[in-house]
Chain A
């Protein structure tokens, strides 16, 4: 069956029942100052000037090839950066590297030389929390403007301080834009933040050599809405759940909600009833189909040029999914359907009608996908445009922490639904889709085939729900009205969202609100690969690569 993975040669610390952290600590020897226990993994505390040594040892010798996230936070007595490491082969093998740094001059060594993905994550940590990373290739603000004063998530940040920067003080955006200084034959172009193909407010600073891309630097943050801080100001039980819908806002809402629900439920030891898990699985896969339909449509838009037929067909088909989700959750995008310990609503009455609606959709789907294949993947000009453009090798994909269809399009067999099972996925029969083309075409194919797999999952869920005994339809576990997890519990949990690994780090402090809420957004990591994919390519290929990454700026900027 597909859910089994090929076994890899035994690495240090790998045992039958989970990781042996003692062996890992032995590997690192004197580097480990202290050991913490987080809910998901153990944390090794190391010295701030030994980060690169420790990370490269773990990457090369212990097989931790995936730096999922870098979380920075400020305590009363220290700053702390946490590197959440996992393995692409088995993401349940996790390890947190905790790097404390002093309060008065917070700095530690950068991990960006070991994991490319740490580059942006550390820039974000520097930007929002204010930790300096030594030896970082390019440490500057990433989400906030360059002229921003202070670091908003640090404790002494003055929220009432005005942040108005006059144009005179700001760098003149039009200065020296004819060519880059060192190469007189190139031309600098701002693609975005308001450009038809940037899928939102992404700003790509591009240096062109004729029609080819000489240098490219994605500039993000135009849609930064302080989502992490908003979650830190909301209560676990109710107030956080509406917001995940707004991260990846193109109808992937339930997948995002599940990320928070999974982290918070594990943090507070809440058991979710099986019936609710099935409903969650079904609704999440419906969301995935809707999100992939949109990805397909907008990618076609980028390659075909205008608002052509495929975009509209994709929207028409997505509309059907949205109608089903509206019946189920009460809203078309901002579902707010999951609750800690269950879901908000049982299936709508009459149930038969709802099942019929879902079944009709599933029955039509193969025909529609056939049509998309005729329109898109079978088209020779489309193949000409997409095959072997925007190539992302598996090694680079791993180093940049790419996940989801982007990684799977590069042949990286990584899907948290199978590798780190949650919900009802491990009870169902489905396949993880991978393509080995590593190019734009593969990424599109992966999405289209994933829609088929999602349809299989939904079908099985509908069967299960239909036969579920009537007296056992428990949609909500017993959860206290005010949830106060024990103080100083830390957890990093991820789910497979539409774009990849959506992880949530929560640290509790005994109150009913999280002390630190960090979102590991898949789009954020995936977008980092854009320069690798488009350097030396033509502008249209860069646009196509950007489209094939399927970023949602709401999730990139949070």
Chain B
């Protein structure tokens, strides 16, 4: 099946009545498209960070939470933005300046980059390169560079420990994550995101769509767990571990930098959700509602899951985490890859 529609820049160019074949027009339209998608994701993050997270946590803990300003307390987002942006940016003595400044930018932007290749339905698809999935994993793991930079440059021992933990954790979980993703690639026979989505558009049994979550639930479960570690949420939030190393790599950040790191974390969760939605849940596919709505429902579902896990699952210890990663997840994901390859080879 062909991709649902042309990539976003071409659609925009046609809407504006310009020539889609001219390079300057395409550059301009790509920028506009990127701004659109960036804004969409930032809006989601803004909703999630100051408001939804509080509401969800409150629901799990039998409290009321924000409800004073605006309908359902939604205007707290505005109030919080003003509050956070008006805080003093404290630059501690002895920080490694360019690295310390770059780290929050890197953390926030690396996750945003990944959305470029995610098909969100209704033509909201910025680019569709043939190596789409590899590109997403590459950009997502760039965040760990940011975490290490933040940890090292802060000149703080807690940050340092947090940075080290972040690297150890990401190394241990990136490999199972990508290997599990590779099993999907074997199914779909392509790294291109639109192809992967298209491959999931048949039905499996009865009304059940042939989403890879249903085709291979084991890989889905593995990917969900590895994704929790990838985005650093319970039970794998050890790079931050507030009760152990205060706040890990972000201990020394305040004001705008803190907001950037915080935003970056949430965008990262959403990117994780977007990857899961695309390669396991059929991307924007779904009945009745338009594709983009289904897409958002899926990524918010993943976000909800992280919050749910956070409410009830204790944090594992760093050595246990590494053990689970290297001895458990890696072996399981290799086995999964092998089995998938054999099954696909036999059937095809």
Direct contact of A and B (CB under 8 A): yes
A interface with B by C-beta (< 8 Å)? 187, 189, 195-197, 211, 300-309, 311-313, 316, 375, 379, 381-382, 384-385, 538-541, 543
**Stretch from B175-183, B236-244, B256-264 that touches the partner:** B236-244
Flag whether B22 is at the interface (Cβ < 8 A): no
CA distance A422 to B245 in the complex (A): 44
Given known contacts A305-B241, A305-B243, A312-B63, A541 and B317 CB-to-CB distance under 8 angstroms: yes
Flag whether B319 is at the interface (Cβ < 8 A): yes
Contact of B60 among A309, A540, A541 (CB under 8 A): A309
Shortest beta-carbon distance from B328 to chain A in Å: 12
- Write 21 A-B pairs (CB below 8 A) sorted by A numbering: A196-B242, A197-B243, A304-B234, A304-B314, A305-B234, A305-B242, A305-B310, A305-B314, A305-B315, A307-B61, A308-B310, A308-B311, A309-B61, A382-B314, A385-B314, A385-B315, A538-B317, A538-B319, A540-B244, A540-B317, A541-B317
Set of chain A residues within 8 Å of B311, measured between Cβ atoms: 308-309
Chain A to chain B: the 3 pairs with minimum beta-carbon distance, closest first: A312-B61, A197-B243, A305-B315
- Nearest to A195 among chain B residues (CB) is B246
Flag whether B84 is at the interface (Cβ < 8 A): no
CA distance A300 to B62 in the complex (A): 17
Give the contacts of B293-345 with A (CB-CB under 8 A): 310-320
Given known contacts A304-B234, A309-B60, A312-B62, A543 and B244 CB-to-CB distance under 8 angstroms: yes
Set of chain A residues within 8 Å of B62, measured between Cβ atoms: 312-313, 316
Interface of A is mostly: helix
Set of chain A residues within 8 Å of B319, measured between Cβ atoms: 211, 538
Q: Are B312 and A309 in contact (CB-based, < 8 A)?
A: yes
B interface with A by C-beta (< 8 Å)? 57, 60-63, 157-158, 161, 234-235, 237-238, 241-246, 310-320
CA distance A302 to B310 in the complex (A): 14
Set of chain A residues within 8 Å of B317, measured between Cβ atoms: 384-385, 538, 540-541
Shortest beta-carbon distance from A48 to chain B in Å: 44
Shortest beta-carbon distance from A140 to chain B in Å: 25
Q: Are B243 and A302 in contact (CB-based, < 8 A)?
A: yes
Q: Are B235 and A381 in contact (CB-based, < 8 A)?
A: yes
Q: How many cross-chain pairs have Cβ atoms below 8 Å apart between A and B?
A: 85
Set of chain B residues within 8 Å of A211, measured between Cβ atoms: 161, 318-319
- Nearest to A198 among chain B residues (CB) is B243
Q: Are B243 and A543 in contact (CB-based, < 8 A)?
A: yes
Q: Are A303 and B157 in contact (CB-based, < 8 A)?
A: no
CA distance A384 to B317 in the complex (A): 9
- Nearest to B168 among chain A residues (CB) is A211
Contact of A189 among B61, B157, B310 (CB under 8 A): B157
Given contacts A306-B234, A382-B314, A385-B314, 5 further A-B contacts (CB under 8 A): A306-B242, A306-B310, A309-B312, A384-B316, A539-B161
Set of chain A residues within 8 Å of B313, measured between Cβ atoms: 304, 379, 381
- Nearest to A300 among chain B residues (CB) is B314
CA distance A543 to B241 in the complex (A): 11
Shortest beta-carbon distance from B117 to chain A in Å: 33
Set of chain B residues within 8 Å of A375, measured between Cβ atoms: 312
Contact of A305 among B158, B237, B246, B318 (CB under 8 A): B237
Shortest beta-carbon distance from A54 to chain B in Å: 44
- Nearest to B235 among chain A residues (CB) is A381
CA distance A227 to B132 in the complex (A): 67
CA distance A305 to B238 in the complex (A): 9
- Nearest to B240 among chain A residues (CB) is A305
Set of chain B residues within 8 Å of A382, measured between Cβ atoms: 314
CA distance A312 to B64 in the complex (A): 12
Q: Are A384 and B320 in contact (CB-based, < 8 A)?
A: yes
CA distance A312 to B63 in the complex (A): 9
Q: Are B235 and A540 in contact (CB-based, < 8 A)?
A: no
Q: Are B242 and A308 in contact (CB-based, < 8 A)?
A: no
Shortest beta-carbon distance from B10 to chain A in Å: 45
Set of chain B residues within 8 Å of A543, measured between Cβ atoms: 243-244
Given known contacts A305-B234, A308-B311, A312-B61, A381 and B318 CB-to-CB distance under 8 angstroms: no
